[in-house]
Copies of this chain bind each other. A is one copy, B any other.
Amino acid sequence: MFLKNCWYVAAWDYELIDGKLLARTILNEPVLLYRGDSGEVIALNDRCPHRGALLSQGRREGDSVRCMYHGIKYDQTGRCVQIPGQDMIPPRLRVRKYPLVESAHLIWIWMGDPARADRSLIPEYAPLHDPKWKGLPAYLHYDANYLLIVDNLSDFAHLAFVHTNTLGGSEEYAFVTKPVVIEKLERGFRVERWHMNSESPPYHKKVIRDKDTKVDRRNHVTMLIPGIFYMETAFTPAGQGGEKGNLQNAREYRNCQYMTPETESTTHFFWAYLNNYEGEDSTISRSLLDSLIEGFMEDKAIIEQQQKTLDADAGFQMLGILADAPLAHFRRVLEKLIQAEQSTAAAPAAAAKETSLA
């Protein structure tokens, strides 16, 4: 069961280059994504309603797409506009179109009631809009439910054990640091954690000159419904008062991660890890991309194994520890939103408001 009436990331814009027909299952629905000749990015249900052939294996024609089984053509609204050999087009022969918004290289999709697709509900990430933050967008596929990835990102103690030699830096991190802030939000949570007077972690050491100076390390995480992770990271010279706001000579990062359910047990994972200091030297972005992939592969091994464990024994009950307060809150909030949505969906459709996307 997924929350339908919210925005999910469907793709990075670079995935739709050159008019490509991209097939991507989202919330169990097969979706076709493409950029038409007009420049508009379009999302249609990926099945030709005639015999179920995939439109993504069809042919784009301008902003339209033609099914290459019997040649039936649909325009960018999903309306059938041609049936070879037949003049009359039955109006019910149409493909579902999904609301889309393109913003800061991300393609956002709304899988629920189109009438409720309000662009202002997109949780935009300012650094993606700001040219001073540089980095390379990336995509990974997980064979695991998206909430297991949300869980993973909710407790940074895992940096110490899963990522000791990549993103973490030491097992000490789990023992000597704790969140200084845990704030429950209406649609998520916020966690702030400092590691004072520590060594720089390996991924950061790779991209800085001064590898030996101790640092005060700050990670400030915001997690939002349905599975959106934003993090500010700063490394300030140890003892100069980074925790009081003195960011002189700091090295800073901005990180966004988007978890979009493909199915109940698989996930599309989009991310970018941005820095504001590389200038023209894109080797830094490229090194950070590699480091993050290396770290995410460590997560992936554990998270996909968790999914297998749950698949093998549906009765397995996880037991919380104190550090699980944020993820427990997140799951509780999400569960309530889904329940509310389900009971609304069961109510008369007349209640649907005419708030269009504009």
A residues sitting closer than 8 Å to B (CB atoms) are 30, 47, 49-54, 57, 66-72, 83-86, 90, 92-93, 151, 155, 157-158, 160-162, 171, 174-175, 177-178, 301-302, 305-306, 309-310, 312, 316-323
Q: How far is the CA of A67 from the CA of B51 in the complex (A)?
A: 45
Q: How far is the CA of A316 from the CA of B49 in the complex (A)?
A: 9
Select one of B57, B175, B319 contacting A93, CB under 8 A. Answer: B319
Min CB distance A247 to B, Å, is 26
A172 (CB) vs chain B CBs: closest residue: B84
Select one of B70, B83, B302, B316 contacting A158, CB under 8 A. Answer: B70
Q: A92-B319, A323-B70 in contact; A157/B84 too (CB < 8 A)?
A: yes
What residues on B are CB-neighbors of A51 within 8 Å?
151, 306, 318
> In the complex, are the beta carbons of A49 and B305 less than 8 A apart?
no
What residues on B are CB-neighbors of A175 within 8 Å?
84-85
What residues on B are CB-neighbors of A90 within 8 Å?
319, 321
> In the complex, are the beta carbons of B306 and A52 less than 8 A apart?
yes
> In the complex, are the beta carbons of B71 and A316 less than 8 A apart?
no
What residues on B are CB-neighbors of A69 within 8 Å?
158, 161-162, 302
What residues on B are CB-neighbors of A68 within 8 Å?
161-162
What residues on B are CB-neighbors of A50 within 8 Å?
318-321
Known contacts A53-B309, A85-B178, A93-B321; 15 additional CB pairs below 8 A are: A50-B319, A52-B310, A57-B305, A69-B302, A70-B155, A70-B321, A71-B160, A83-B321, A84-B171, A84-B175, A85-B177, A85-B322, A86-B321, A86-B322, A90-B319
What residues on B are CB-neighbors of A323 within 8 Å?
70, 85-86
> In the complex, are the beta carbons of B71 and A157 less than 8 A apart?
yes
5 A-B pairs (CB sep. < 8 Å): A51-B318, A53-B306, A54-B305, A85-B174, A86-B322
Q: A93-B319, A319-B92 in contact; A71/B174 too (CB < 8 A)?
A: yes
Select one of B49, B157, B302, B306 contacting A85, CB under 8 A. Answer: B157
Q: A155-B70, A323-B86 in contact; A52/B160 too (CB < 8 A)?
A: no
A301 (CB) vs chain B CBs: closest residue: B57
What residues on B are CB-neighbors of A52 within 8 Å?
306, 309-310, 316, 318
Q: How far is the CA of A92 from the CA of B47 in the complex (A)?
A: 50
A327 (CB) vs chain B CBs: closest residue: B51
What residues on B are CB-neighbors of A321 within 8 Å?
50, 70, 72, 83, 86, 90, 93
